[in-house]
Amino acid sequence: MMETRLGLIPTDCERPERLKFAWPLILLPDLFSTARHLAVARGYFASLGWEVYTPDLRAAAKQLDAALSPAESQAILDAERHLHDQTRAAMEAARQQFEASLPAARRAQIDARMAARKGNEQNGSRHEWKPDAGRALLEVALDFGRPPHRFGAPGGQPPGPQ
């Protein structure tokens, strides 16, 4: 394994002894894993003949966050909080509309489950959201060019051919 960069993003690279495929594989870590977690998969694919890259998106987000001025960071965090609040409101409205269409017995079951969930949140079992302007900016950059996929897509319609 060797460390390299894809643009500005620090990346781990594994090259096979004999390259068998023309295009490399890029394994993207997600919310619950890092580039280090993908080391076994990277090694396996390299043993098959692939050149494999695993970018460290968390390190790239930290670099972005460090490069931002406090005012820029705050502006990005304010925009992200606003989007988060709008999404939360849309989800809550959809949930209420859905629950209104349910029979009373089923609504009572959902209410009991929601009350239990709120009790757990008050006991500190819910993961607290920690804002990070670098991560928010990287998510927007990596999402560039893809069709909208969040609540509130233009025209209220799901993305795709109409």
Question: Would you write out the chain's pLDDT as a tens digit for each of its 162 residues?
Answer: 788 888 878 888 899 988 898 899 988 887 567 777 888 888 999 999 999 998 888 888 888 899 999 999 999 999 988 988 998 899 999 988 988 888 888 888 888 888 887 766 555 555 555 778 888 888 887 775 555 554 444 444 444 444
What does the DSSP 8-state code read for residue 11? E
Q: H/E/C letters for each residue in 35-62?
A: CHHHHHHHHHHHHHCCCEEEECHHHHHH
Distance CA 137, CA 156 (A): 25
Task: Return the pLDDT at 147.
Answer: 53
Count of C-beta atoms within a 10 Å radius of residue 60: 23
Task: Return the pLDDT at 128.
Answer: 58
What are the φ and ψ backbone dihedral angles of 4, each rounded to 5 degrees?
-145, -165
Task: Return the pLDDT at 32.
Answer: 66
Task: Return the pLDDT at 48.
Answer: 92
Task: Return the pLDDT at 99.
Answer: 83
The residues facing 52 across adjacent strands are 14, 25
User: pTM of the prediction?
Assistant: 0.59
Task: Return the pLDDT at 75.
Answer: 93
Task: Return the pLDDT at 110.
Answer: 83
Task: Return the pLDDT at 84.
Answer: 85
Residue 159 carries which side chain, given as an amino acid letter?
P
At how many degrees (to 10) do helices 57-67 and 133-143 cross?
Answer: 120
What does the DSSP 8-state code read for residue 141? H
